[in-house]
Structure 1
Amino acid sequence: MSQPSVETVTSGADKAKLAAAAVLVVGAVGAYYALGAQPLWLRVIALLGLLGVALAVFFVSEPGRQLTSYGRDSIREVRKVVWPTRKEALQMTGYVFAFVVVMALFLWLTDKTLEWVLYDLVLGWKR
C-alpha cells in the first residue's frame, strides 16, 4: 500500500518572503564587507541586525511556521522519552565494551587461523 503523496502549496507571498530573507542574508554579508573602513563592532552589529531581520522574515513565512511547529513537536517527543538511569547506562556501556573485546578476539583468532591455513598448510611458506 503506497503512501499518498503530500503536495506543498506555496503562495506567492511566501515565495516573496523567502526571496526577501535571502536578499537580506546576502545584504548582511555585503554590508559587513562594505563597512570595511568602520570599526569592527559596527560591522558586526550591521551583520547581526540584518541577519535578525532575515530570520524574522523567514519565520513569518509558511516554511518558517512549519519549521517552528516541527521544533515544538520534536521537543514534545523528547520529553516523552524514558531515559535510562545512571546504573542502566553504565551497565549497557559495559556490555558494549565487553562485546567489542570478545569480537576483537574472535576476529584476531579467525585472522591468525586463516593465515596459518593459507600460508603454512596450503602454500607451504614457512617463516
Structure 2
Amino acid sequence: MLVSNESQNTNTILDKLKWGLVLVLIAFIVWGNFYFSQPNDIYQPNTIVRIIIVVVVSLLTLFIAVTTNKGKLFLSFLNESRKELRKVVWPTRKETTQTTLLIAAITVIVGLALWGMDSLFRSIIFYLTSIGR
C-alpha cells in the first residue's frame, strides 16, 4: 500500500509539473504571437511562419495536457460520448420539418391568445379606472 501512495504522489507531482508547463506554453504562444505581430519589429517573421509556430506549440501543449490524469479522463469521456452519439436515432428531414412547423404554429396561436387576453384585461382595467375616456 505504501508503494501505491508513493506512485500516486509521484503522478500527482508530475501532473502538476505538466500543467505548469502547459500554462507556460500557452503564455508563450500568446506573448509570442502578440510580440511578433508588431509592425515596427525588425525581427518580424512572416505571418505563415507565425501561424506554423503557434500550431506546432499548441499541438505540443495539447499533447502534454493529454498525458496527465485529467487529460486521460477527458479523452475517455470523449470516446464514450462518441459511442453514445452513434446510438442516437436522428429524425428524418420530414420529421424535422413537421415538428418545426408544428412548433411555429403553436407559438403563433399562444402569442395570439396572450395578445387577446392582454387586450381584454387592458380594456377591463381602463373601464374600471376610467383612464380610457
TM-score (norm 2): 0.79
* 2:93 matched residue in structure 1: 86
* Structure 1 range deviating more: 28-37 or 44-53: 28-37
Contact 1:28 1:47 in 2 (8 A): yes
Tell me the secondary structure at the aligned position of residue 16 of structure 2: helix
Higher helix share: 2
Q: In 2, distance between residues paired with 1:46 and 1:89?
A: 44
Say which of 121, 130, 133 aligns to 1:124. Answer: 130
Contact 1:25 1:54 in 2 (8 A): yes
Q: In 1, distance between residues paired with 2:121 and 2:56?
A: 66
Matched letter for residue 56 of structure 1 = F
* Structure 1 range deviating more: 52-61 or 85-94: 85-94
Deviation at 1:38, TM superposition (A): 2.1
Structure 1 residue runs of 5 or longer lacking an equivalent are 1-8
* 1:39 matched residue in structure 2: 46
* Structure 1 range deviating more: 104-113 or 33-42: 33-42
Residue correspondence of structure 1 range 13-92 to structure 2 within 5 A: 13-36=14-37, 37-92=44-99
Tell me the secondary structure at the aligned position of residue 11 of structure 1: helix
Cα deviation code 1:73-126 (max 9, x no counterpart) = 11111111111122221221121011101101110101100110001x211233
Q: In 1, distance between residues paired with 2:31 and 2:66?
A: 22
> Using a 3 Å threshold, how does the CA distance of structure 1 residues 35 and 109 change in structure 2: closer, same or farther?
closer
Q: How many residues align?
A: 118
| Alignment RMSD (CA, Å) | 1.8
Contact 1:31 1:46 in 2 (8 A): no
* Structure 1 range deviating more: 105-114 or 92-101: 92-101
Residue correspondence of structure 1 range 110-121 to structure 2 within 5 A: 110-119=117-126, 121=127
TM-score (norm 1): 0.83
Deviation at 1:31, TM superposition (A): 2.7
* 1:11 matched residue in structure 2: 12
Deviation at 1:32, TM superposition (A): 2.6
* 1:6 matched residue in structure 2: none
